[in-house]
Amino acid sequence: MWILLCFCFTVTVFGQLPANTNYQQCAANLACSINYEKTFQEKLNNLGYHATLQIQSLKQSINSQVTPLTQDLEILKTNATAIQDEVTRELQLVFRGLDHDRAFLHNLSVGVYNLAKELHHEQYVRFQDVHKIIEEVNLVKQALGMMNNHSDLLQAASCEVQLNATMHNATFYESQYRKVLSMYHNLQTTIHDVRQQQQVLLTQLQEKTREAMRLQKQSPLTSPPPAAKLSSRSANCGAALGMEDGIILGASVSSSQSFGDFSAGNARLNHARGWYTGAKTTSKDWVQINLNSSHVITALATQGAPCCEVWVTNFTVYYSNDGNHWHEHKTGCNSQNLKFVGNTDQTTIKYQTLDPPMVAKYVRINIIDFHKKNNSNSNYIGMRTELYGCPVYVPKITQPH
């Protein structure tokens, strides 16, 4: 490369200096004596060295800033893991406590129910015994009266032997009468003790119910209908009973009529198909749900069918414990039949509080009226529904003495 530079310099000088061979030769020798390659290499090495120093300094500066951040990040990870483990342990303790309280509340509830049932039976038996005792007492009184009359006759006839026998019988019947009265008082005492025992169990049940409500507010495990939809009276027993999530099987849902594949098993809240009947002008149709065991039912929700402007506008609710004998739900204040106002469109969910709640195994929704389109013969009945409440447990407990 330096040879090329020497050549260029010589050509330039020869082109600019006067045509003097000595000057030209001197300039050419001077240009060719300079080692440009070495000079450029030194400058390049200097630049590379300085650049390397700057890069090294920059690396050290970055490392000095990144290292504390990395340490802080590891500390945060460690703390987060510890906090997560602590929260997990606390949640496990809470859930175990809830399970224990649930089991206790379950056993207490079924114990109270069974105790009340046995107390009712015991009272019925005792009342029958008392009735028999009263009848026997009356017979004894009649016998005493007859014996007294007989005694008077014997005295009048001076029949001393028969008179003594009659008086002996009268004494015997009188002692039997006192024994019967004693048995009657003992029965009354037993009934009083059983009632006191029932009151103690009911008090314990109420305390546990309040404790369970407090724990559920701290860590809710279920998703009942919105609190605004249910009264405070039914808020403690308002879980969905299984229509929407399919816990209640399709075989447990029936209807008076269905149209094609839109059977009663589809009458579930937010179901994509829903339940329909054929075209009608009036309705005597119903949807029936078998809960397979006794439940306290505190509320229900209704929704129109998913298509074609079909919904129920008015209905009544019936309930049964055997599927044969039905009772209509009535208001608690004046015991009148309750007619529910249904939906106003096919999508909005309407919640209905049952006051008082029902205790039933079967629930039937009787459709009274439904939406009818103007100038149309294609008026169908259809709906979707859900029930809310809690189960009634009836276990076997030890019979009180």
- What's the pTM value of the predicted model, to 2 decimals? 0.43
Candidates 3.80.10, 1.10.287, 1.25.40, 1.20.140; CATH matching 106-218: 1.10.287
Residue 366: beta bridge partners? 286, 316
Distance CA 112, CA 103 (A): 14
CATH architecture of 227-391: Sandwich (2.60)
List C-alpha distances in Å: 6 to 9, 18, 22, 67, 245: 5, 19, 17, 55, 95
| Amino acid in the structure at residue 33 | S
Distance, C-alpha 249 to centroid of its chain = 18
Mean pLDDT, the chain cut into blocks of 10 residues (401 residues total): 53 52 66 72 86 88 89 90 90 88 87 85 83 84 73 55 66 80 79 70 66 56 41 65 93 90 91 89 90 94 91 94 91 68 94 92 94 79 94 60 49
Distance CA 269, CA 246 (A): 10
- The token pair at 387 is 């029930």
Domain boundary assignment for the chain? 2-34, 106-218, 227-391
Q: What is the pLDDT of residue 172?
A: 78
> Secondary structure of 295-327 in the HEC alphabet?
EEEEEEEEECCCCCCCCEEEEEEEEECCCCCCE
DSSP state of 372: -
DSSP state of 362: E
Q: What is the pLDDT of residue 32?
A: 64
Q: What is the pLDDT of residue 242?
A: 94
Specify the long-range contacts of residues 242-250, CB closer than 8 Å, at least 24 apart: 243/267, 243/268, 243/269, 243/289, 243/385, 243/386, 243/387, 244/268, 244/269, 244/270, 244/271, 244/386, 248/289, 248/290, 248/291
Count of C-beta atoms within a 10 Å radius of residue 356: 13
Q: Do residues 250 and 265 touch, judged by C-beta distance below 8 A?
A: yes
